[in-house]
Amino acid sequence: MDSARGLTPSSPARPSRSNRSSRTILRSVLALGLVLACASTASAVKREDFKTCAQSGFCARNRAYADIAKEAPDWVSPFQLTPASVRLRNGIFTADLINTHESTNPSPRPPLALELHLLDNDAVRVRINERDAILPRYDGVQETVLVKPYGFASDVTYELSTDTASGTTTIQYGSQNQNTVKIGSAPFKIEFLVNGVSTVLLNDEGLLRFETLRRKEEEQKQSDDDSDDSDDSKLVDQDSEGESSEIVIEKSELEKKLEENLWEERFKEFTDSKPRGPESFGMDITFSGINHVYGIPEHATSLSLKATRGPDAPYSEPYRLYNLDVFEYEANNPMALYGSVPFMLGHSKNSTAAVFWMNAAETWIDVEKSAEDKSSGLLSWIKGKKTLSTPTTKTHWISESGVLDLFVFLGPTQRDIFRQYSSLVGTTVLPQSFAIAYHQCRWNYNTQQDVAETDAGFDEHDIPYDVLWLDIEHTNGKRYFTWDEPKFPNPTDMQQSLASRGRKMVTIVDPHIKMDSSFYVSKEGGELDVYIKNKDGKSSFDGWCWPGNSQWIDFYNPKARDWWASQFSYDRYQGSTKSLFTWNDMNEPSVFNGPEITIPKDTIHYGDVEHRNVHNLYGTMFHSATAQGLTQRNETQQRPFVLSRAFYAGTQRYGAIWTGDNMATWEHLEYASPMLLTIGLAGIPFSGADVGGFFGNPDAELLTRWYQAGVYYPFFRAHAHVDSKRREPWLFGEPYTTQIREAVRTRYAYLPFWYTLFYETSVDGTPIIRPMFTEFPEDEAVFAMDDQYMVGNALLVKPVSKPGVTRSTVYFAGSEKWFDIKDYSVEQGPGFKEVASPADKIPVYQRAGTILPKRERPRRSSKAMENDPFTLVIALDSEGKATGRIYLDDGETFSYEHGDFILREFEATGGVLSSRDARPASKEVAKVSDFVQRIAALRIERLVFVGSKVALKKVSVGGQELPVECVLAPNGGGHVCTVKEPRVTIGEDFELLFE
Ligand code: NOJ
């Protein structure tokens, strides 16, 4: 029994997890009296628990097909479009696709149906499905992922012209008529051009492959006939004299691979029964003129995706998208992790484009890049066969089941792409304001007393925090919605006590339900019949998870979702209050005794849907049902807060995610930045990594550096494994407590800026933390940069992710100045510069040309700052100009949806600082709430002008002169002038003159 992990004797120990042994090793080391800094903990991912592409039948088959194509000197795709079938009506192009390799088949399968939808947001949807399939292929992902029916470009100009000689159909469309789609008939391929420049190509490499559904008996008969007749590798040929001779064509190893693992598949002790047989498909997508592609989270890898194919490819495995609970995952590895978003963005100096492969089944993606020819400075194609004058990235997408359903976004700018993509899959729901403050978590705060002491510890050490989290041990035997009563005798009082200091609590609720007829949730679930079913479609599936034998709610069942949501009402969830929120973990789903630690693919969901088709969406369905529960539990609606570990495209509509069980190592601190940047690019900006690292024990330096970095994660939470030592921010003593306090206070000071960024992403999907290339799209020096990034358009952040570092090399992009946020010392771009990064700070700079709103009074929680005045930091550019915005609302309800908010735009230009109402005209509100009126009247208590070439001499507002004090920036880069009490409020129009 492992009491530390709360496993009861009846609960099977987690079979494939190695932390028991790693803990034993750890103890032995400690017994030797060695000081073990966990920064040195080696990763111990159990690779053998997870499939490689070669072990995944459909991946191996499609990769073998790609190898066949690559090895054939004149490979062309066998797919051809039948000209007579081409139609374009109301923004939808349709045609039939035939597979010419099937022409020798005595009973060829019906053609595939190709559809192109030209959308009114300038995106194009490409669908390929079987026509007259023997069974319908799963096509339900769109119902849960797309937010609303989209409009077609029918009211936008488009032209259809077919060049009969080349068989190419051309469609010209787009709001500016800027996009061209060229559809080649034989071989079939599609090319997308923006303003005449080729950007994305589909099937250019001819890797389109579609395993049409077939009956096992027919296939069996066919193969029996083949072996009766003669070997199918033999052909009878007639020479010119009519003499026949037998030519023996041996199937190559690769061709044999195309027929492997079609009907049943084994992995370790598990058999996947694959009742419908093979139904995978794959296609290549080329980003032309583009050498950097990004996205397809979740992998612990770099921002600019490394190649997985080609002679110098750093990885040999494709990137895998299959939501999995990967214990002690490894950095710099394309293995699948907890979440999947099949969204990829390609970017070059001249073009930007993206694709969204809307499929929730297991998916693998190969990436192959043209290489830079260092000698000539040109780029040449690795394969040697072709020489390309432009860099190109070729990708190969392979999914196990469903239909090929792809969106292509042609920008032309990244902003356009974020808007186009988020208009389909939704933007981030605006969180309550507490949710973007600091969260304190560990597995576990053990008792009510422990909670009280931890809470008091923050006040004693003057460190602000907003939320205290309880992990699985707070429950009665991992029965979610219950409390371990001896340890938490009065949860309501506990939450009210936190709430009295403006704080909230989060408890964990996982999707596995302990099988226990005396547990009301388990019993009701059984009576309502809401569990996922075994492959027979009748009996409920059971497996192991934290509570021992468990069952998994089928969130595809509408009845299950509603029932689940109702569990969060205050009368059902005993001991819950308005200030209690939810953490959804283990929702890949994690099944300790399942194949690859998840649920078998042949289990069945509502509507007879095989789990295989929807695996990557399961966690999101759970997340959404929980968010629904938290929303509907109150009469006056309150925005929900739910953190999820698993995710898919669209998760942003339900809450935040985090990067799961990272390690307390410098390497994991380093990889957190590219992981979060990637997840943000893929439409899920509200994300964070466990500060401090989940497994292991960070030393004081690593923990402090992690806090300093975590301040700039959109979701900012410290968390630790049950076996790790306590590490509340004051436990390492000085100077660390002061350093961590300073870091956390910086987050609180910038909360108005963060909240404004959340508002902005909720409108147009622009990421909150942004790769450098998003803000500097023409500077090639930043295209692969992922060790520094931007918060919004204004703050440049460079985390320190190496021990013993006191100086860091920072890239200052653009030609304008950058101001250190602590002392306003100035740096000037473009170029690398070594700057100080002593133990008490990491490099963070405000960009010239921006105005940032802050609240500078240290408080115990964000709630306590609600009535505090504001500071504006005006970082003037070389022309003396700057702009910025602030968004404010009640931070809690949905009344902002009806326009009950403040949105101000600040502008400094020509010696005038002005504030004006920037609320969209459509957001007229019938009644502005008392709260918002009160906030609008809060004063701006300080203006800080930086970047002025001369010291300001005179500042006035409404004809009244204001006192101004100027000092020189420490490294002589300009003047820092402060105006105290400028006599203006945050919500009013004003014009303030400065000279
Ligand atoms: C796994 C989660 O990733 C981790 O954060 C949590 O502490 C444990 N499950 C226990 O609930």
Please, what's the b/e burial string for 216-239 (b: 16 or more CB within 10 A of its CB; e: otherwise)? eeeeeeeeeeeeeeeeeeeeeeee
| Cβ burial, residue 608 (10 Å; 0-12/13-18/19+) | exposed
Question: Which of helix, strand or coil describes residue 809?
Answer: strand
- Per DSSP, 605 falls in state E
Phi-psi region at 512: left, alpha or beta (left = phi > 0; alpha = psi -120 to 50): beta
Structure tokens belonging to residue 832: 């690398």
Q: Does residue 523 form part of some domain?
A: yes
CA-443 nearest atom, ligand 1: 7
For ligand 1, the distance from its centroid to the CA atom of residue 266, given in whole angstroms, is 29
SS percent in the chain: helix, strand, coil, step 5 = 25, 30, 45
pLDDT in tens, 636-684: 789 999 999 999 999 999 999 999 999 999 999 999 999 999 999 999 9
For ligand 1, the distance from its centroid to the CA atom of residue 588, given in whole angstroms, is 13
Same domain for 663 and 539: yes
CA-590 nearest atom, ligand 1: 1
> Which of 400, 425, 450 is the last residue before a domain boundary?
425
CA-441 nearest atom, ligand 1: 7
Cross-strand pairs, 169: 162, 183
CB 353 within 8 A of CB 200: yes
Residue by residue, DSSP assigns 873-938 as EEE--TTS-EEEEEEE--SSBSGGGGT-SEEEEEEEETTEEEEEE---TT---S---HHHHHHHTP
What H or E segment, with its residue span, contains residue 745?
helix 736-749
Test site for ligand 1: of 14, 694, 719, most ligand atoms within 8 A of the Cβ: 694
Q: Which of the residues 585, 760, 775, 816 is marked catalytic?
A: 585
Same domain for 710 and 596: yes
**Residue 505 φ then ψ, to 5°:** -130, 150
Same domain for 533 and 414: no
> Which protein residues are within 6 Å of ligand 1, measured from CB?
443, 471-472, 508, 585, 645, 660-661, 694, 719
- Per DSSP, 12 falls in state P
Strands 807-812, 831-836: pairing is: antiparallel
For ligand 1, the distance from its centroid to the CA atom of residue 665, given in whole angstroms, is 18
Same domain for 586 and 455: yes
As for how many domains the chain has, the answer is: 4
Provide the pLDDT for residue 854: 98
The boundaries of the domain holding residue 914 are 869-995
Provide the pLDDT for residue 156: 53
> Which of 403, 425, 447 is the last residue before a domain boundary?
425
CA-661 nearest atom, ligand 1: 3
Beta strands in 646-746 (DSSP E): 656-658, 687-688, 716-718
Same domain for 414 and 438: no
Atom 7 of ligand 1, residue of closest alpha carbon:
443
CATH number of the domain to which 911 belongs: 2.60.40.1180
Q: Does residue 854 form part of some domain?
A: no
Q: Does residue 632 form part of some domain?
A: yes
Mean pLDDT by 10 residues, the chain (995 residues): 31 38 33 32 76 98 97 94 88 93 75 95 96 94 93 67 77 87 94 96 97 82 57 41 56 89 95 96 97 98 97 96 96 97 97 97 96 42 44 96 98 96 96 98 98 98 98 98 98 98 98 98 98 97 98 98 98 97 98 98 98 98 98 89 98 98 98 98 98 98 98 98 98 98 98 98 97 98 98 98 98 97 95 97 98 97 97 97 98 93 97 96 76 95 95 94 94 90 97 96
Same domain for 349 and 448: no
Q: Does residue 830 form part of some domain?
A: no
Provide the pLDDT for residue 89: 87
Could you confirm whether 989 is annotated as catalytic? no
Same domain for 281 and 160: yes
pTM value is 0.93
CA-694 nearest atom, ligand 1: 5
- Distance between CA atoms of residues 427 and 530, nearest Å: 30
Backbone CA torsion sign across 862, 864, 868, 871: negative
Same domain for 442 and 564: yes
Provide the pLDDT for residue 729: 98
Test site for ligand 1: of 586, 598, 662, 687, most ligand atoms within 8 A of the Cβ: 586
Cross-strand pairs, 717: 439
Provide the pLDDT for residue 224: 61
Same domain for 311 and 439: no
CB 213 within 8 A of CB 139: no
Q: Does residue 112 form part of some domain?
A: yes
CB 614 within 8 A of CB 137: no
Same domain for 416 and 435: no
Could you confirm whether 2 is annotated as catalytic? no
Structure tokens belonging to residue 477: 């035997």
Same domain for 153 and 61: yes
Could you confirm whether 588 is annotated as catalytic? yes
Q: Does residue 20 form part of some domain?
A: yes
Same domain for 352 and 392: yes
CB 679 within 8 A of CB 292: no
For ligand 1, the distance from its centroid to the CA atom of residue 652, given in whole angstroms, is 21
Q: Which of the residues 405, 661, 760, 786 is marked catalytic?
A: 661
CA-508 nearest atom, ligand 1: 11
For ligand 1, the distance from its centroid to the CA atom of residue 41, given in whole angstroms, is 19
For ligand 1, the distance from its centroid to the CA atom of residue 480, given in whole angstroms, is 14
- Give the closest residue to 500 by CA, choosing from 449, 450, 441, 459: 459
CB 111 within 8 A of CB 131: yes
Question: Which of helix, strand or coil describes residue 723?
Answer: coil
Q: Which of the residues 588, 667, 742, 786 is marked catalytic?
A: 588
- Per DSSP, 153 falls in state G
Q: Does residue 350 form part of some domain?
A: yes
For ligand 1, the distance from its centroid to the CA atom of residue 19, given in whole angstroms, is 13
pLDDT in tens, 437-459: 999 999 999 999 999 999 999 99
CATH number of the domain to which 476 belongs: 3.20.20.80
